[in-house]
Structure 1
Amino acid sequence: MSTIFLESKDNPKIKHLRGLIEQNSFRKKQGQTVLEGTHLALSWLQANRKINSIFTTEHALEHPDFEEILNSYTGHVFVIGESLYKDLSTLGTTLACLAIVDLPNSRQALQYDQDTLILENVQDPGNAGTLLRSAAAAGIKQVVCTKGSASLWSPRVLRAGMGAHFSLQTFENLVLEDFLERFEIPVYVTSSHQAESLYSKDLSKACVWVLGNEGQGVSDYALAHAEAVCIPQPGGQESLNVAIAGSVCFFEMVRQRL
């Protein structure tokens, strides 16, 4: 490991890092993204994946969590000032650690007989990351995002996913009409209109979950090509947050399969 001190916000390394944090187009062009926080960096290393470089502060370098990372990492550690780190960070509350990694290049094709989560125009990074985290915990291995959804490998979605990404096959920027009808298993959408109770469905076999936009829900196309389910709400609320609704569905599936 080599430690390099950087001071200027105009340093090319800092500009590169900022571009990866802030711009989806830059991440795609470079084929890289940023993991923020020691938890994600450790999870990435534990999945036997390579970190290209790490940015941190002098104070964070002394923390035991950082020492654990350095036991598995032999590349450059760029040390920057606290104020510059706070300017770059998307959170500002975690132990200072920004790790640049290559975006996974999955060559696996979409499987049409496996449990699958489809995010249709889910735009909030927190919701997207939470849904991936719940899906991974429930044993779902395949996640598809349509165009218009949050970028799954953005720093904010990665942070909300808390490492769930690293056990999932992810597909992005697909068009629902191009693939939904190819599934050989039941497809469910969550809807509060003309829907049967989630708890009336047999979820003991592989199925697909389509979860829609936070404000508008799923598209008319999704509704026309899937079975609509609702989650009973005795309290009378109009709707549930999409990440919570999805999590309820996934773990009803788990309950039936236990």
Structure 2
Amino acid sequence: MIREINSTDNDHIKALIKLKNGAKINEDAKFLVEGWNIIKEALKTLALVEIITTKEHQDYFITTAPTIPLTIVSEHVANKLKGSVNSQNVFAVLDLNKLKNYNYLDFSTDMLILENVQDPGNMGALLRTALGFNFNNILILGDSVSIFNEKVLRASQGAFLKLNLKVLKTNYLNVLQELAAAQNYYLISTGLNQKAVYLDQYSLPTSQKVALMFGNEGNGLSSELVAMSQLNLKININPQLESLNVSQASAVIMYEINKQKGGHNV
């Protein structure tokens, strides 16, 4: 089905604008994504339920996705939907219920655990880096920013479609205990406390599954998660710098763990 809409007063466009922020998924579990990278990845899934674009791109989608409803909009309407100045005028609606990797964890692979990470740019970068270094499970805890926030989605560059994702707002300490006890994960925290070991001084058993934990940008991990960890890591950096940003630190540590375990692309 192809339809053309040129007014922002159209009820369907108003509904799409409400999906734009993504901080809260609507009652139908739909959310809006933007950009070629994300949409090309979404086309490989069953979750993409509508494409919205301007006339310049319609032929591409008519050819590559003929069974998916296509809405052609004017530049004026596209401007209301876009989340960045350099928008590519390609948008899509995804159905969360059709994302097989959401609310699912694969206990055979490494895991990244994020507690109270609130900056959308950091969250998106963390997801993208996790995919790059084979941390294919993401467990998001507490008061973290929604992974469906438009800035998170844009920064992740479609990585969220390839990762196993689970969100727990409360009562997650028992889950972490089970990861260590029942699922045999090695819990690693990060921080600058006295028990922390420098990353370049530690060798990880290559057969051990890792659950790597990072916390809030300002306060770090909660004391409860630090206490549960079996190892606390820190990075040896220039003493003139107090610390690295959480997304920067995660990239360094995930790269090193992936390299020690013989992961690809290192």
Instruction: State whether TM-score is above 0.5.
Output: yes
Establish whether residue 230 from structure 1 lines up as the match of residue 234 from structure 2: yes
For 2:260 and 2:252, how far apart are their aligned partners in 1? 12
After superposition, the C-alpha distances for 1:74-121 in whole angstroms (9 at most, x for unaligned) are: 333222222332222111313111100111255875455641111100
Equivalence for 1:21: 20
Equivalence for 1:90: 83
Equivalence for 1:179: 175
TM-score (norm 2): 0.86
Q: Quick one: which amino acid aligns to residue 11 of structure 1?
A: N
For 1:244 and 1:213, how far apart are their aligned partners in 2? 13
What secondary structure does 1:94 align onto? coil
For 1:169 and 1:210, how far apart are their aligned partners in 2? 16
Equivalence for 2:258: 254
Unaligned runs of at least 5 residues, structure 2: none
TM-score (norm 1): 0.88
What secondary structure does 2:83 align onto? coil
After superposition, the C-alpha distances for 1:174-228 in whole angstroms (9 at most, x for unaligned) are: 4332311112222111102221101222332211111111111111111111122
Unaligned runs of at least 5 residues, structure 1: none
Q: Quick one: which amino acid aligns to residue 93 of structure 1?
A: N
For 1:186 and 1:106, how far apart are their aligned partners in 2? 23
Change (3 A) 1:37 1:28: same
Percent identical among aligned pairs is: 28
After superposition, the C-alpha distances for 1:9-58 in whole angstroms (9 at most, x for unaligned) are: 22121121111112533x2422111120122111111x332421112222
What secondary structure does 2:46 align onto? coil
Q: How does 1:107-186 map to 2 (within 5 A)?
A: 110=105, 114-175=109-170, 176-183=172-179, 184-186=184-186
Assess if the C-alpha contact under 8 Å between 2:103 and 2:167 holds in 1: no
Equivalence for 2:223: 220
Equivalence for 2:29: 31
Assess if the C-alpha contact under 8 Å between 1:86 and 1:92 holds in 2: no
Equivalence for 1:201: 202
Q: Quick one: which amino acid aligns to residue 43 of structure 1?
A: E
Q: Quick one: which amino acid aligns to residue 225 of structure 1?
A: M
After superposition, the C-alpha distances for 1:139-187 in whole angstroms (9 at most, x for unaligned) are: 1111011121111133321221112112211001343323111122221
Decide which moves more: 149-158 or 164-173: 149-158
- Equivalent of 1:58 in 55, 59, 62: 55
Establish whether residue 42 from structure 1 lines up as the match of residue 35 from structure 2: no
For 1:107 and 1:94, how far apart are their aligned partners in 2? 27
Decide which moves more: 88-97 or 172-181: 172-181
For 1:129 and 1:248, how far apart are their aligned partners in 2? 16
Change (3 A) 1:166 1:109: closer
Change (3 A) 1:109 1:159: closer
Assess if the C-alpha contact under 8 Å between 2:19 and 2:32 holds in 1: yes
For 2:247 and 2:21, how far apart are their aligned partners in 1? 24
Change (3 A) 1:43 1:149: same
4+ long deviations beyond 6 Å: none
Q: Quick one: which amino acid aligns to residue 187 of structure 2?
A: V
Q: Quick one: which amino acid aligns to residue 117 of structure 2?
A: V
For 1:125 and 1:70, how far apart are their aligned partners in 2? 34
Assess if the C-alpha contact under 8 Å between 2:104 and 2:165 holds in 1: no
